[in-house]
């Protein structure tokens, strides 16, 4: 018996060695020789499962792994390998059960905890995934991948500060790990530590010269710093990689628009449909109008996209489309429909969820600048292009008649929290206290334009004599009627700013250092809105300078 066991053991060692060298047929033959002598040899069955998996024979691989489990229920290997196979086949719950069984049998295998963490992350069970990564690190403190993956998980959950030590530990263990440098740079960028982020991305590119993701992130950081030409060069590098082409092209479009290069910017802006940040475009059997086709006698559908502010900004093109002889149908968010019924040239305004009438052509609103070959000096910038209906005007005149005789100032300090840039573009109401104080001292009344208030914000607003009419506003026509009764609107980059500009109301817009492309660079005016004045941060995250400028400007404001 001992002699036979020695032969089996020797054949298994040779089979493992052959497998490691990529000699699958040789390894398979040796495993089968083992099974002729010992039909329940779990190691041989397990190895045959690996061989079948490598050949793409997943069903056979699963049978071998399950046979190995039956042959030796206490052997963790078949559970681990079956778990990996099932995960690859998207049978995630079954895969997790396999990893759990492997851990029950051998709790100190760091690699199993690591694989289990990856799986839990894929299943969006993020707290459990974090715990599994930490257990893997505890068992194998030198595992660079575990540190890197755990840090990346924290980064995805916007725990940027928490993620940094994991990347730094990974780099202490392996200074040449380009992926860890990339991840460290991403956390630093999101913490606003842009100079350090640039260094990290540059090191990632030095270590891996064709690392398009590092080039892309470097470009984004340069873009955020306003170093547009350097950013464009890095985006060009990132676009060389097909895997990163869509995001790099989309971000290059934003960079060119920020610079004022509208000819190339609008062309590249069409790449937004390929970006992961956007849903696929609406599909219609009718052709897309790109500016060339004759519109005389045709019906065209102009459909809104992205946010409320975007729709408000670009609906200005509807009259130009109508001037070309088209019958214009507007499809927009339901909250915008009553307001958009005032758009000149719109024959019909519909909810974008409704069944649409017949039309010949279509165009997304934000593709219209390209269709009209818009340049900085040809922006259709009428003083106002939206209007309030007389009945709504009467209602809101009555609602505001008890306000004091001083200035009426609309205030919007936060945009849509779902916007990926909202943390940068919005500010807490507390940051505006110097302005609130100045308004109260001058006899002016602050009117909130926020959709909803927190209890803290409501108390702060009321402490300075501010008013809130959110409960009375059912759609954007109500908000427009309210804005029409004000002397001035002060807003962050939100729909309120676009609405005020579209109504021709004086609007002061507070912008973060990484302001959106539509506000261009180093300008205090806007070619899109003649009534707008821009107030820009000089230091990321610090609104105090902007608020101080607003207080000074308000002292000299006359409606």
Does the pTM of the predicted model rise above 0.85? Answer: no
Mean pLDDT of the chain: 92
Question: Of 468, 387, 454, 467, which is closest to residue 426 (Cα–Cα)?
Answer: 454
287, part of any domain: no
- 413 and 315 in a single domain? The answer is no
Distance CA 324, CA 536 (A): 38
Each residue of 28-52: pLDDT tens digit? 888 788 778 778 788 888 788 888 8
Say yes or no: 473 and 425 in one domain: yes
What residues make up the domain containing 545? 390-555
Instruction: Give the pLDDT score at 369.
Output: 98
Residue 295 in 3-state DSSP?
Answer: coil
* Residues 305, 400 within the same domain: no
**For residue 177, which of 157, 154, 149 has the smallest C-alpha distance?**
149
Look at residue 326 and tell me if it is in a domain.
Answer: yes
State the DSSP code for 145. Answer: H
CATH number of the domain enclosing 324? 3.40.50
Residues 352, 394: one domain?
Answer: no
Instruction: Identify whether the C-beta of residue 324 lies closer than 8 Å to the C-beta of residue 368.
Output: no
Domain annotation covers residue 443: yes
Q: Which of 296, 418, 290, 257 is nearest to 364 (CA)?
A: 290
Q: CATH number for the domain including 22?
A: 1.25.40.10
Last residue of a domain, one of 13, 32, 66: 66
* Whether residue 439 has pLDDT greater than 80: yes
Residue 110 buriedness (CB in 10 A; 0-12 / 13-18 / 19+): middle
Residue 251 belongs to a domain: no
Q: Which of 378, 410, 445 is the last residue of a domain?
A: 378
Average pLDDT over every residue of 228-246: 84
Q: In angstroms, rounded to a whole number, what is the distance separating the alpha carbons of residues 217 and 151?
A: 17
495, 452: one domain: yes
- What domain count does the chain have? 3
Examine the domain organization and report whether 456 and 536 are in the same domain: yes
* Per-residue model confidence as pLDDT tens digits over 94-128: 999 999 989 988 889 899 999 999 999 999 999 99
**Does 358 lie in the same domain as 398?**
no
- Which residue has better confidence, 200 or 32? 200
DSSP conformation letters of 190-257: HTT-HHHHHHHHHHHHHHSTT-HHHHHHHHHHHHHTT-HHHHHHHHHHHTTSGGGHHHHHHHHHHHHH
User: What's the pLDDT score for residue 522?
Assistant: 92
Q: What integer is the mean pLDDT of 86-98?
A: 91
Q: The CATH number of the domain where 420 resides is what?
A: 3.40.50.2000
> Treating both helix axes as pointing N-terminal to C-terminal, what angle do 212-224 and 178-190 enclose, rounded to 10 degrees?
20
Same domain for 334 and 476?
no
| pLDDT at residue 2 is higher than 80 | no
In tens, the pLDDT along 502-546 reads 999 999 999 999 899 999 999 999 999 999 999 999 988 899 999
Where residue 3 falls among pLDDT bands split at 50, 70, 90?
Answer: low
Q: Which of 266, 199, 203, 276 is nearest to 244 (CA)?
A: 276
**Contact (CB, 8 A) for 130 and 114:** no
Question: Is 142 part of a structural domain of the chain?
Answer: no
Count CA atoms closer than 13 A to 232's CA, side-chain side.
14
554 contact partners, CB below 8 Å, separation of at least 6: 409, 435, 438, 439, 442, 444
218 occurs within a structural domain: no
Considering the domain architecture, whether residues 320 and 398 belong to the same structural domain is answered as: no
Q: Give residue 342's region: left, alpha or beta (phi > 0; psi -120 to 50).
A: alpha
pLDDT at 366: 97
Does one domain contain both 308 and 410?
Answer: no
Question: Does one domain contain both 339 and 424?
Answer: no
Tell me if 192 is assigned to some domain: no
Q: Residue 143: inside a domain, yes or no? A: no
User: Other CB atoms closer than 10 Å to residue 513's CB: what's the count?
Assistant: 17
pLDDT of 280 higher than 90: no
Distance CA(385)–CA(364), nearest Å, equals: 19
Are the C-beta atoms of 348 and 329 separated by less than 8 Å?
yes
* End-of-domain residue from the set 328, 358, 378: 378
pLDDT of residue 65: 85
pLDDT at 400 > cutoff 70: yes
Give yes or no for residue 74 having a pLDDT over 90.
no
Q: Same domain for 414 and 307?
A: no
CA distance 444 to 466: 9
């Amino acid at each position: 018996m001992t002699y036979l066991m020695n032969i089996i053991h020797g054949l298994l060692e040779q089979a493992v060695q052959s497998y490691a060298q990529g000699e699958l047929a040789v390894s398979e033959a040796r495993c089968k020789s083992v099974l002729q002598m010992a039909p329940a040899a779990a190691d041989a069955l397990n190895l045959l499962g690996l061989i079948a998996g490598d050949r793409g024979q997943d069903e056979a691989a699963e049978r071998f792994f399950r046979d190995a489990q039956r042959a030796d229920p206490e052997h963790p290997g078949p559970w681990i390998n079956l778990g990996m196979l099932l995960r690859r086949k998207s049978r995630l719950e079954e895969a997790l059960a396999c990893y759990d069984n492997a851990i029950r049998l051998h709790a100190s295998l760091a690699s199993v905890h690591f694989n289990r963490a990856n799986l839990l992350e894929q299943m969006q069970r993020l707290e459990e995934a974090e715990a599994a990564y930490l257990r893997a690190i505890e068992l194998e403190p030198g595992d660079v991948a575990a540190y890197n993956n755990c840090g990346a998980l924290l980064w995805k959950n916007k725990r940027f500060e928490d993620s940094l030590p994991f990347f730094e530990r990974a780099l202490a263990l392996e200074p040449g790990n380009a992926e860890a440098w990339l991840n460290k740079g991403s956390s630093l960028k999101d913490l606003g530590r842009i100079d350090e982020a640039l260094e990290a991305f540059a090191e990632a590119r030095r270590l891996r010269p064709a690392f398009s993701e590092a080039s892309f992130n470097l470009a984004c950081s340069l873009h955020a710093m306003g170093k547009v030409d350097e950013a464009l060069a890095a985006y060009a590098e990132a676009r060389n990689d097909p895997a990163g082409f869509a995001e790099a092209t989309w971000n290059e479009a934003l960079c060119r628009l920020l610079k004022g290069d509208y000819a190339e910017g609008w062309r590249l802006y069409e790449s937004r449909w390929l970006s992961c940040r956007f849903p696929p475009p609406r599909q219609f059997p009718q052709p897309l109008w790109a500016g060339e086709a004759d519109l005389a006698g045709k019906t065209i559908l102009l459909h809104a996209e992205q946010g409320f502010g975007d729709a408000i900004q670009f609906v200005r093109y509807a009259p130009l489309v109508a001037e070309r002889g088209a019958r214009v149908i507007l499809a927009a968010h339901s909250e915008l429909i009553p307001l958009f019924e005032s758009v000149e040239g719109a024959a019909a305004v519909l909810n974008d969820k409704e069944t649409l009438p017949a039309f010949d052509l279509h165009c997304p609103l934000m593709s219209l600048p390209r269709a009209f070959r818009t340049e900085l000096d040809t922006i259709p910038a009428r003083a106002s292009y939206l209007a309030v209906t007389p009945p709504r005007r009467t209602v809101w005149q009555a609602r505001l008649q008890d306000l004091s005789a001083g200035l009426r100032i609309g205030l919007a300090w936060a945009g849509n929290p779902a916007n990926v840039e909202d943390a940068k573009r919005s500010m807490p109401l507390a940051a505006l206290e110097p302005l609130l104080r100045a308004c109260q001292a001058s006899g002016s009344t602050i009117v909130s334009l926020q959709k909803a208030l927190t209890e803290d914000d409501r108390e702060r607003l009321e402490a300075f004599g501010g008013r809130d009419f959110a409960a009375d506003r059912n759609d954007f026509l109500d908000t427009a009627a309210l804005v029409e009764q004000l002397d001035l609107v002060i807003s962050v980059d939100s729909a309120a700013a676009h609405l005020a500009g579209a109504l021709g109301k004086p609007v002061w817009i507070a912008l973060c250092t990484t302001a959106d492309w539509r506000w261009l660079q180093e300008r205090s005016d806007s070619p899109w809105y003649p009534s707008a004045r821009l107030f820009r941060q000089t230091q990321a995250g610090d609104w105090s300078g902007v608020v101080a400028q607003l207080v000074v400007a308000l002292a000299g404001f006359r409606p």
